[in-house]
Chains A and B, each alone.
Chain A
Amino acid sequence: DAGITQSPRHKVTETGTPVTLRCHQTENHRYMYWYRQDPGHGLRLIHYSYGVKDTDKGEVSDGYSVSRSKTEDFLLTLESATSSQTSVYFCAISGRPGDTGELFFGEGSRLTVL
């Protein structure tokens, strides 16, 4: 299995509080991604990173920010959590997302915003 660790795996929080999810990899892969998974929507890209301090928005980035200060860590922050951000969040990594690259996924972080 690819070395990807997400933390926390489960979190319950209240509306308006800040939340940070962490993705840690031991594969030294350049590309890292945050997705959210919701019933009926599949996986939707929130943000991704193509190197240290290099990040870009995905299709559902509103209300989320990310940071990548080291190759191995990619943080997803909800500055002020809302109930619509209740979801399962997946981190994924890829070394060569071009012609032959694939994504390796973490086990997910289940976030409930009350």
Chain B
Amino acid sequence: SQQGEEDPQALSIQEGENATMNCSYKTSINNLQWYRQNSGRGLVHLILIRSNEREKHSGRLRVTLDTSKKSSSLLITASRAADTASYFCATYNTGNQFYFGTGTSLTVIP
């Protein structure tokens, strides 16, 4: 399987705290993307980081990528109850395929 893995599988934090989730993958990549999924909905793209980038920011999101370790992390700062969702990393390679991790379920307690 080319699927990645994410940890933790589940994370529960208080509103205002930071949330960090990690993704490990198996193959070489062109880019890595993070998606969010609210319960019962489709996935929504959050941020993309290219293989030659090490860090990227978008609003309250910070993504890092370490290609030597085949890993990435997503940091959500100053979390809000509305951030409650599942978060998935996805890797893209030259085969036009996106492979997703197993996801982290984040609960932000008001």
Chain A interfacial positions (CB closer than 8 Å to B): 4, 31, 33, 35, 40-45, 48, 50, 58-59, 90, 92, 94, 97-108
Q: What residues of A have a CB within 8 angstroms of the CB of B102 in the complex?
A: 40-42
Binary interface encoding of chain B residues 79-102 relative to chain A, with 1 for a CB under 8 A from any of its CBs, else 0: 000000000101010001111111
**Is A105 in contact with B44, judged by CB distance below 8 angstroms?**
yes
Bound-state Cα–Cα, A33 to B100, Å:
13
Q: Nearest residue in B to A104 (C-beta to C-beta)? A: B45
Q: What residues of A have a CB within 8 angstroms of the CB of B1 in the complex?
A: 59
Q: Contacts A103-B90, A105-B42 hold; do A42 and B30 have CB atoms under 8 A apart?
A: no
Chain B interfacial positions (CB closer than 8 Å to A): 1-3, 6, 30-31, 33, 35, 40-45, 48, 50, 88, 90, 92, 96-103
**Is B98 in contact with A33, judged by CB distance below 8 angstroms?**
yes
Interface centre among A42, A44, A48, A103 (most CB of B within 10 A): A42
**Is B97 in contact with A107, judged by CB distance below 8 angstroms?**
no
16 more A-B residue pairs beyond the given contacts A43-B88, A59-B3, A104-B45, with a C-beta to C-beta distance below 8 A: A33-B98, A40-B102, A41-B102, A42-B102, A43-B43, A59-B2, A90-B43, A92-B98, A98-B92, A100-B48, A102-B45, A102-B48, A103-B45, A105-B43, A106-B42, A108-B41
* Other-chain contact of B98, A4, A40, A97, A106 (Cβ < 8 Å): A97
Interface centre among B30, B43, B98 (most CB of A within 10 A): B98
**Please, could you name 26 A-B residue pairs with CB atoms under 8 Å apart, sorted by A?**
A4-B42, A35-B100, A40-B102, A41-B102, A42-B101, A42-B103, A43-B88, A43-B90, A44-B100, A45-B98, A48-B96, A48-B97, A59-B1, A59-B2, A59-B99, A90-B42, A92-B98, A94-B98, A97-B92, A97-B96, A98-B30, A100-B31, A103-B33, A103-B45, A104-B45, A105-B44
Q: What residues of B have a CB within 8 angstroms of the CB of A104 in the complex?
A: 45
* Other-chain contact of A45, B30, B33, B99 (Cβ < 8 Å): B99
Q: What residues of B have a CB within 8 angstroms of the CB of A99 in the complex?
A: 30-31, 50
